[in-house]
Structure 1
Amino acid sequence: MIQASVIIPAFNAEQYIEATIASATQQTHCALEIIVVDDRSTDATAAIVARIARDDPRVSLLALPRNGGPSVARNTGILAARGTWIALLDADDSFLPDRLATLIALGVEQDADMVADNLWLVDQATGAQMPMLPEGALPAPVRIDLPEFIARNISTPDAPRRNYGFLKPLIRRDFLMRNAIRYDETVRFAEDFALYVECLRAGAGWWLHPTPLYRYLVRADSLTQVQTTGDLDVLRRRQRLLLAEACAAGDTAFAALLRRHLRTIDRCYYYRGFTDELKARAPRAALGYLFASADSPLLVAQEGARQLPLILRKALRGGYRGAAA
């Protein structure tokens, strides 16, 4: 019996993919399969995976005919999976050796539909790592419901990366199939967040283990860091639909929470649109974002203040020389 199907969507990941697959093959006390979905890479990613698959029957390569984005790749892997649990693994991340066994044991103990763990956040530039949730934040495994998940996606200045949307849960395959839940293939940013919301809305029992067993590489060029206004607008529209449902149901506490979360998304949306249009030398379009709503000037200012230390560090490293020329 295959206990876990590890799904690895990969696009131009030749630098990382071998080590990522190795972290999955080295899992202890777990019968697994590893499905790498190559999203039409233009580098050697597919060739590396094919070589590994020839030597390890647990590894298989699914090559997509065209680039569809991470949601398409993940759905392809899920449909091909045969394991009891779907284990999500990004192509530049890695598992600690006992991760799957530990989480499956917790899932069985709690009869959970989803189980996740704390993360090691690994800085690509320095190699430094720190747990997303600091030691002592979770003294024991806890259950997450939808309001808790939304609340833990509202970042704060002192902990910008303490965000449950980064979590990489194991999800029971039969739960996904029974509820017809798949990744929204129109979403190319925060696609995991959108899926987790759908699972929780369908009644998933989700448990979180306090020990960090997943190594999450923090890269300056990842989709999480370079989202577009279009990406953010898709997320805004999804959350507005959820807010409308909460209001219709009379759930005022959850509606207030969603409004707080939407404000953080709007802050990023207006700031991104404003700065992108300034860089494109389109001042009229930039002003359109700045004055799009009564709140947008304040939101742009708040996000600008939040981004200022990053901007200054980049400028000091010479990151803006080309733009200034």
Structure 2
Amino acid sequence: MKRILLIKITSLGDMVHTLPLVSDLRRAYPEAKIDWVADASCADIPRWAVGVDRVIAPPLRGFKKSRSWADLRAIIGALWSLRREKYDVVVDVHGVYKSAIVAWLARSSRRLGYAAEYLGEARAVFAYTQIFGPHGDATARHKMRMVVANGLGYPLDPVEHYALRVPAPATPLNADGVPRAMLFHATSVEAKKWPAQRWISVGRTLAERGYKIQLPWGSPAEREQSEALAAEIPGAEVLPRMTITECAQRVDAAALVVGTDTGFVHLADALGKPSVMLFTVTDSQHFGINTPGQSVSVGARGVVPEIADVLAAIDQVTGGQSRPQLAAASLG
């Protein structure tokens, strides 16, 4: 196996879920070149992945919004770049029309993808020459790893390995030594939100323990929500608008990350940060994080976590750290 094409186009959390698969492929085929097709809006994650040799990043989301010639030219350029190489195998773990079209356009006679019943868009199955076998009951991440390992015929390490290097910030973050707790309260799905008063209660408790609370946001509405929470949490900081890289650097510098089922909380877990993920309407067993001693998910489909549940989870992932100097030490 000399060259492998991996296709996972969006979104941020799904990109993070794909990182252990990259580690699997690198371990199974140490000499192979691994290319990854990702939307330009999410391409930072594969660029940071140890083991990925080339990232092909067409601005598909950008073109959908702008319909600009510049984005169209960039997409055409990305496709020409894709076609320059011949691949021993193409692995589409996204499973929609756009990823299937990329797989079909790639120069390869072997294209792996999910069966129609597991695809986001069933007719995308047209692009595949080999269908992944049954995947059984497992987390979303492990299912992906299992089907690819079975399809390509290599043994699967039961441990997930995230090989990820976030670039260092231009200037050191948190130079005052005060431990930061990032609260990712915002979500695009209203039903996934955790009540604001509960965020305030958790934020106040963490502030009393010596953490400085940081509140990120990604839209004007989310900024207003962050400002409203900050007004009720002593010393809380509403962060500025950030790029994916800037936010990832903040996550990497944090002592604790708490948030809903969002990409940056998945990223925090991948970076080895103490992390708590909150669920209200989706399956925490399938989509959650659970690294012993490091991360845990609370709540479930139809079960909104209580404040006490979240604080207990925080104690679990921080080793019960309640003093500022102990939390600061975890920053390394």
TM-score by length of 1: 0.30
TM-score by length of 2: 0.29
Q: Which has the higher contact order (CA 8 A, sep 6+)?
A: 1
